[in-house]
Structure 1
């Protein structure tokens, strides 16, 4: 494809065709007068033209983009700075015509936009003093509608019900949280009435509320004939809003009128209109089969690049109870791969991940243990870590640390364990799970991986702390995409295990996943399931006779008795 710069030089034949067809349109159309064909200061081709509506003459510019004919030309009013049409992007802005970016084809021509501009203007202005309606085939998205809005109020379906039920003459007050980001202020009404009597929004996580600013809000319903407040100046607003019930302490004022919601943000010296974002459709995004995850507790051992991503994904699909184990600090170099960011630099990874999870979903509980599993910790601290993990429904090992793996294998007789590794250089990784009684012991599973690599005559590409390795003269280091590519299937394996699906979506319990060409992987995304032997039979505990059992229980009861009498 030719360069997009100065398309008329690259394609003079198309330039000739455009010019000739515009002239042909002018020759057969009494309403059209062509002006100068020129290049503007940005070297874009422009055609001036005038449209005669019979009672009115309107001047336009047809402007060709640099990427023509792969993008459509634009039609602008030449002189008028007010809104010329109901199908226009703001006063003096481009007309929204039949041929647009969403339906454009290179076969279309510039003359068709000129014709479309005439059709629009003549339809909306059929005669002096008359206005006509031209149907729109172009619906604005919420994102387009709010592009120029600095202040926004996020609605939800419960708040909409409260607004709908509010009668005239009974204003209610409450609290709103404002999130100040970049050039925007985003408001959430969090409660209405004393102690949230009429409404309390529990969907906004508590940690988010604490981080933001609180504002007072008043909501009132007015008659359909009432005049809404004027925002020309703050003084004018006060004079026109006070009769509707606004009070000086109200920093957010919501007026309900005839099915419309009009919101004002009142500052010390001026007033801002707030755009209302309608409630989202009330659709479960994770599916009803994920609901049991709300009752599950996950132990995340390792909150680094892999663990932070897996924990965030589990929170998003419904897990709300976490035990987070990691003694490491989050430092600037960790930003490259971790799900955390610069706001968390200097914090313990476990603490920062815990806060992130609480910002993702309301009601998330985190037991943060800034300890190293298998590290040089006191016996009391180690016992506390083990006790916390023993009450989990699943443990995820994101450490790739053989010491931690050996300790966690002690839990595997009664708690499912999922683990994953990122291979050196980001060439691939491994995901695995152990379910009590369904897979062989974890040490045998790890041995199966080593044997698989040995059969391929390739060393296991286990990573160092930086996920790096050398291939010839090139040092390869796993990047964020490599880590994420392993974190996602590992999370799916964890979800499948937590839900105890029968049959499991994963017919194998260990997979090697390739991400880059190397001696082992011919191409990216090749996946090798690892076959495992059947788990050995569980050895039965030595049985006690009835007399022996009674004797031991008596000793235990006696210890409790002595404790009570102490």
Structure 2
């Protein structure tokens, strides 16, 4: 990285000239001193209301693309209401409105205007108020807040309706991660949090808190610092003796949700006898972030066979898009080697993939219904167990084959044909060169076997693609170079497959996909001329070639008579 004042000599000269001009014309600028420490800096003495403020302006590494920053020379000094935690002053120009034509001289002028208006070192009655030029996002506001409480609008409305002088009890769950503690309300009296997933309720820490509404004002509530202050406030304003015991009457509660006269919320954790306030994080979950048609996914039951790197991503994405019912099939375990391309993480090592994915879906959606089996559909299993799994697959609205296993595909193709349910399948090509996504909808597409034959014929007619395959998703060329499909490669194909599943599930009449089989290129090679080269395969003509099987009328009559006899014997 180049040093800007060495690589941009004209800008350095412009900065020097503007600073010289400012020093010659501004009586409030008592003096400046340039230095390198190691960034280029300017130490300046600024006079405001006959008081001198010593500041240091620092040119950033990427100046003039980013703005200089100004702070008191003494890093421990707090002057202004417009001062960040690291001491930097919030001036008229920042990262949100910076323009490279602005100079350091203008930044010092802005510093003077702030100090002149606020007069922070003057007498208290002389202090001025300078309105903020910008709005902080919740993320910016909560950066320094270690204790936080997540609050939905429904919870806020419930608390706001609390009667004065009424004591309630709340059960809270809390999560401790990366130096932050986040509380979530599980239950308050007769209110239960509808957003909280079942696995979350059974995990993490739990505390009992009080809920109380006082007639004291927000200003009066903000003055309390200890538990004794809290009890005195309630006794003074409400003539209530506030006891801090849990519903069992023995243990002390760990905190209080205090609602003031104007329905303002004040959250305090009891740290010994001190009150530690919590920041409120209001949720915006009412803002829907999925397309409207995805609402129809909630009633669709989707079978996913194979919860590996592709199937896990498809399941998670479908759940986030609103799918509400799943039947998941996979017998494999999640191991450390799966971390590179799977949606699970180290916490799931050693568990069956199907169970860990089911749990993850339940964390995503509190209303999702997930049924699982670790049966190997083509392995050494009980015939009855396999049959039971296949029957459940056949009752789903959509069947997804994410195994890239020929035996499994043949089995699911038969189930699809017999149950007249659409089958959707995929394949990620070795080396990350691309992949296949395809579907067969009974009555609208050829049967899966016919479509697969069409695909094989397409590959026969295409250029040779026969590198050795030493491991899944891996190829080795004739020169011994090994190419491995990355998580990004797998994710692209999984995302295309997910879109095909959603389209099949909710667009029964009009599809957004004119074809039912696509080859998707991720790099140049084989049939792909470049990345993102997509090749549709025409299969409509195969549908016309399918002829319904003709059953002999006499044979059909004999079969019906046989079955009727069995049913009569069962009734007897």
TM > 0.5 fold call: yes
Q: 1:287 to 1:171 in 2, by over 3 A?
A: farther
**Are 1:440 and 2:446 an aligned pair?**
yes
168-177 or 240-249, larger mean C-alpha shift: 240-249
CA distance in 1, matches of 2:443, 2:244: 67
Off by >6 Å, runs of 4+ in structure 1: 460-464, 544-550
Q: 1:465 to 1:456 in 2, by over 3 A?
A: same
TM norm structure 1: 0.91
Measured after TM superposition, the shift of residue 457 of structure 1 is 2.5
Measured after TM superposition, the shift of residue 348 of structure 1 is 1.1
**Are 1:117 and 2:111 an aligned pair?**
yes
144-153 or 53-62, larger mean C-alpha shift: 53-62
Match of 2:537 among 512, 524, 530: 530
Match of 2:434 among 424, 428, 434: 428
CA distance in 1, matches of 2:169, 2:488: 47
508-517 or 125-134, larger mean C-alpha shift: 125-134
User: Structure 1, residues 128-180: CA drift from partner, whole Å, max 9, x if none?
Assistant: 52333323222111111111111211111110111221132113212111112
1:229·1:240 contact (CA, 8 Å) conserved in 2? Answer: no
Measured after TM superposition, the shift of residue 407 of structure 1 is 0.4
Q: What are the residue-to-residue correspondences of 1:78-97 with 2, within 5 Å? A: 78-79=73-74, 81-90=76-85, 93-97=87-91
SS of 2:415's partner is coil
Match of 2:476 among 470, 474, 477: 470
CA distance in 2, matches of 1:382, 1:27: 89
SS of 1:410's partner is helix
Match of 1:24 among 5, 21, 26: 21
The aligned counterpart of 1:65 is 60
Match of 2:286 among 282, 306, 309: 282
The aligned counterpart of 1:366 is 370
CA distance in 2, matches of 1:246, 1:496: 58
User: Structure 1, residues 459-497: CA drift from partner, whole Å, max 9, x if none?
Assistant: 478977521111232111111001001000100000011
Measured after TM superposition, the shift of residue 266 of structure 1 is 2.1
The aligned counterpart of 1:106 is 100
The aligned counterpart of 1:509 is 516
The aligned counterpart of 1:560 is 570
Measured after TM superposition, the shift of residue 544 of structure 1 is 7.6
**CA RMSD, 1 decimal:** 2.4
Measured after TM superposition, the shift of residue 545 of structure 1 is 11
CA distance in 1, matches of 2:221, 2:135: 27
Count how many residue pairs are aligned between Structure 1 and Structure 2.
548
Match of 1:173 among 160, 169, 172: 169
User: Structure 1, residues 518-566: CA drift from partner, whole Å, max 9, x if none?
Assistant: 132121111011100242243365668998798556424423323xxxx
User: Structure 1, residues 277-316: CA drift from partner, whole Å, max 9, x if none?
Assistant: 1131512221332122111111110010000000101111
2:227·2:274 contact (CA, 8 Å) conserved in 1? Answer: no
Q: 1:426 to 1:549 in 2, by over 3 A?
A: closer
Measured after TM superposition, the shift of residue 435 of structure 1 is 0.6
User: Structure 1, residues 206-256: CA drift from partner, whole Å, max 9, x if none?
Assistant: 102212111112222222167337676xxxx22112333361522231122
Measured after TM superposition, the shift of residue 388 of structure 1 is 1.6
Q: Which residues of structure 2 form unaligned runs of 5+? A: 235-241, 246-251
CA distance in 1, matches of 2:320, 2:379: 31
Q: 1:32 to 1:559 in 2, by over 3 A?
A: farther
299-308 or 369-378, larger mean C-alpha shift: 369-378
**Are 1:36 and 2:33 an aligned pair?**
yes
CA distance in 2, matches of 1:225, 1:459: 73
The aligned counterpart of 2:361 is 357
2:34·2:42 contact (CA, 8 Å) conserved in 1? Answer: yes
1:176·1:217 contact (CA, 8 Å) conserved in 2? Answer: yes
SS of 1:384's partner is helix
SS of 2:278's partner is strand
Q: What are the residue-to-residue correspondences of 1:483-494 with 2, within 5 Å? A: 483-494=490-501
CA distance in 1, matches of 2:16, 2:61: 17
The aligned counterpart of 2:237 is none
**Are 1:333 and 2:355 an aligned pair?**
no
2:33·2:42 contact (CA, 8 Å) conserved in 1? Answer: yes
TM norm structure 2: 0.90
SS of 1:266's partner is strand
1:32·1:50 contact (CA, 8 Å) conserved in 2? Answer: yes
SS of 2:221's partner is coil
154-163 or 263-272, larger mean C-alpha shift: 263-272
2:227·2:273 contact (CA, 8 Å) conserved in 1? Answer: no
Measured after TM superposition, the shift of residue 120 of structure 1 is 1.7
Q: 1:403 to 1:554 in 2, by over 3 A?
A: closer
CA distance in 2, matches of 1:539, 1:255: 74
Q: What are the residue-to-residue correspondences of 1:170-249 with 2, within 5 Å? A: 170-193=166-189, 197=190, 199-222=191-214, 223-224=216-217, 227-228=220-221, 237-243=226-232, 244=234, 245=242, 247-248=244-245, 249=252
**Are 1:451 and 2:457 an aligned pair?**
yes
480-489 or 371-380, larger mean C-alpha shift: 371-380
Match of 1:158 among 141, 154, 157: 154
CA distance in 1, matches of 2:280, 2:538: 56
User: Structure 1, residues 66-123: CA drift from partner, whole Å, max 9, x if none?
Assistant: 2222211101022373432222113x71111111112222221100100111122222
SS of 1:272's partner is strand
222-231 or 163-172, larger mean C-alpha shift: 222-231
SS of 1:412's partner is helix
**Are 1:9 and 2:3 an aligned pair?**
no
